Structure 1
C-alpha cells in the first residue's frame, strides 16, 4: 500500500486517471463525494483542473492511496491563505473504495492527514458532509463535532439532504485514531 501526497501541480496530471477512477466509483454510493453519476469529459477536466489550481497556489494537497489493485483512497486537504486562519485546514472529497475498507486504511489515511497538518502548523481540521451518511457517521465516531447545519446541502435523486459542517483539533483526531487502533489491536 502506498500513501502519497501530491503537492506539485504537474503531479496532479500524473495521477489524473486515479482521481477520476475514484470519483466515478463513488457515484455508485449515492454520489458521496458530490457526483450522482460518472463524470462527463467536461466535468472530469473541470475537476482535475480545480485540484491542479488548488495545488498550484500552494493551499491544496491531494492524498492518494494505492494498493496492488490500483487507487483505493483519496482526500484533499486545503489550508487557509488568510493570515488569521492559517491554523485551519479543510479536508474534503475523502473516499475509500469499498474493496479497501475494514483493513485499517482509514486509520493510516488519518495518520497521514494528522502528520501533514502538523507539518503545516495546522491545528484545526474542518469538513462538511451529508447528514446521516456513512461518512457523517465515521467523522462523528472519530470525534468531529457539528457546528453548523445547512438544510438544503445536496440533492440526490430529487431528495434534498441536510449537510453538517464539522471540526476537530488535529491533536484530538490523533488521540482518537491512536485509541481506536490500539483498541482494534487488543480486540
Structure 2
C-alpha cells in the first residue's frame, strides 16, 4: 500500500497521472534491482553529482544497490522510499538511520534521484516530504544532507525549510570533468 498518492498534470496539461510514494523493503529492492540500476545510471548520465564519475556502467549501478543500499534496507538502518508514476519507477530517496549511539535523534538524506524523464513534476518534493514523515515515525528529528553547491536540488531543500550550515570547497569530483565541486551542508529540525 502506498505511503501517499496524488494526481498531477503532465507538462502538456492534458494527461492526469498518479504519483505514488511507497517504502520498499529488501525483497522488493532485490526484485527490482535492474530498475533501480537504470534509474541511478540515467541520473549520473544526465550530470547528477551523486558520488559517481564517468565512465559509469549499468553494472556499477547494480553493484551500488547490492553492496551499499541493500544491506542497510535489509537490517532496517536505511529506509528506501520510491516514487512511481503509472507503475513506472520515477525516483527514490533514502533515509540513513545508521547513526552512532549518541545520535539516535538524527538521520541523513542519501541519493535523492528523479529520472530525467520525470523531472519538474514535484516528485523530488513529494519524496522529501515522505522522507520527513518516515523520519518522524523513527523519532528522528534532525535531518542532515549535502548537495552540490549551486545544483538544482539546493533551492528545493531551502523551500522545504532546510538551513545551510556552510559549504566545503572542492568536495567532490565533477561526474564528467576533472574539476572539483563544492558541497553545501544543510539540516532541518522536524517536529
Cα displacement (A) at 1:29: 2.7
Question: How many Å separate the matches in 2 of 1:115 and 1:143?
Answer: 14
Aligned position for 1:104: 122
CA distance in 2, matches of 1:22, 1:141: 25
Q: Which moved more, 1:133-142 or 1:85-94?
A: 133-142
Verify the 8 A CA contact 1:24 1:38 in the aligned structure 2. no
SS in structure 1 opposite 2:144?
strand
Post-superposition CA distance 1:14-52 (Å, at most 9, x none): 121221111111123323323344633552342012101
Q: Which of 88, 96, 118 lines up with 1:78 in the alignment?
A: 96
The structure 1 segments of at least 4 consecutive aligned residues displaced by more than 3 Å after TM superposition are 36-39, 101-104
Counterpart-to-counterpart distance in 2, 1:80 and 1:24: 25
Task: Tell me which protein shows more helix as a share of its residues.
Answer: 1
Unmatched segments (≥5 aa) in structure 1: 172-187
State the SS of the aligned residue for 1:22.
Answer: helix
* Paired residues of 1:80 and 1:88 also in contact (CA < 8 A): no
1:89 aligns with 2:103: no
Give the number of equivalent residue pairs: 170
Q: RMSD of the alignment, in Å?
A: 2.0
Give the SS at the match of 1:158.
coil
Distance 2:84 2:96 in 1: 21
Q: Distance in 2 between matches of 1:135 and 1:67?
A: 21
| Equivalent pair of 1:65/1:74 in contact (CA under 8 Å) | yes
Give the structure 2 partner of residue 55 of structure 1: 73
Give TM-score, length-normalised by structure 1: 0.80
TM-score (norm 2): 0.79
Contact kept, 8 Å, 1:62 with 1:76, in 2: the verdict is yes
